[in-house]
Structure 1
Amino acid sequence: MTQVLTSLVAVVGTLLGATLGYVFQRRSTVRRDRQEAALSFSNAITEVIRSQQEWYHRKDEERGGPEHRAARFEGHRLRGIARQAVNGLTFHLPDPELLRLADELLRMASGIHEAADTEDLVSRTEATRQALRAFIEVSSAKIR
């Protein structure tokens, strides 16, 4: 009888350990995926900001020239990557507030190249960077 009870306790302990291990590993994986989605979007927006500034400066140097066209194409390419990162957010962090912030942030970053002058460029860039910081704060609170 003692051997049966010992075996039963061992089996239950093993099953409980495996189940808890699975639950904790799953939670860790979900958290990591959410972190990666938010980080990918943040990185993409940072690149969009940079490319939009480059587009603005190339436009002033030689509108329609090869460097201006290259900067414009790069700006469009990076906005596409940022849009893909929003899709990752939608999949891993489907929070309406967070997605609204992400869409607004992408819109702000995408319009930097339309600045009227250098002062407007600096203002748009700073506003976008502040919005990015707000996005990072909100997303990190939702990931925990």
Structure 2
Amino acid sequence: MTSLVAILGTLLGATATYVFQIRTAKQARQSAREERLWQERLAAYSTFAGALTDFRKSQNDRWHREQEDSQSPAYATARDESYRQRANATAALFRLRLVTTNQKLDSLASLALRLAEEIHDATDEQDRAERGRKARRALLDFAQAAAIDIQQLRV
């Protein structure tokens, strides 16, 4: 009888250990997944913000070179650079969309990109400066919302 109790105790202990190990492993996998998602979002958000900053700069440069001489090689170079930077910003936006389901962030990022795209269409310096301010404000609004989203993942 004593040996039967010992065997049952051993089996019960082994089963309990197995169940706890399974649970611990599942929690570790979930924690690792959440950490990877947090890192992916942080990378996507910061890459988008950097790409949009570069695009805004290229749009301002494009506008200035066009005002100086729209037939110059400097303007053609600035225009081509703005196209390249827009492609980078658009690619960063698509990556951002792949790692988040946050519609507010998507909308803020899309607005910031659209406003940056419009900078080179300014009619004069005051209009360019105002368009630039709007694009910068939209980027800051995105960055604030992205920071909140990232911080909430860490809670």
TM over 0.5: yes
C-alpha deviation, 1:83, in angstroms: 1.1
User: Who is 1:46 aligned against?
Assistant: 53
What root-mean-square deviation, in Å, do the aligned CA atoms of Structure 1 and Structure 2 show? Answer: 1.6
| Cα distance in structure 1, aligned partners of 2:117 and 2:108 | 14
Moved over 4 A (4+): none
Shift of 1:49: 0.6
2:21 counterpart (14, 18, 25): 14
User: Do residues 103 (structure 1) and 110 (structure 2) align?
Assistant: yes
Report what 1:82 is aligned to.
Answer: 89
Q: Which runs of 5+ in 1 are unaligned?
A: none
Q: Are 2:30 and 1:23 equivalent residues in the alignment?
A: yes
Helix, strand or coil for the counterpart of 1:119? helix
Q: CA separation in 2, counterparts of 1:93 and 1:64?
A: 43
**C-alpha deviation, 1:14, in angstroms:** 1.9
How many residues align? The count is 144
Identity of aligned residues (%): 28
TM, length-normalised to structure 2? 0.84
SS in 2 for 1:102: helix
* Aligned with residue 72 of structure 2, among 54, 62, 65: 65
Unaligned 5+ runs, structure 2 = 1-6
**Residue identity in the other structure for 2:69:** E
**AA at the equivalent of 2:76:** R
Equivalent residue in structure 2 for 1:112, among 103, 114, 119: 119
Render the CA deviation track for 1:69-102: whole Å, top value 9, x for unaligned.
0100110111111111121122111333322222
Looking at structure 1, the residues matched to 21 and 111 of structure 2 have their Cα atoms a distance apart, in angstroms, of 49
- Structure with larger Rg: 2
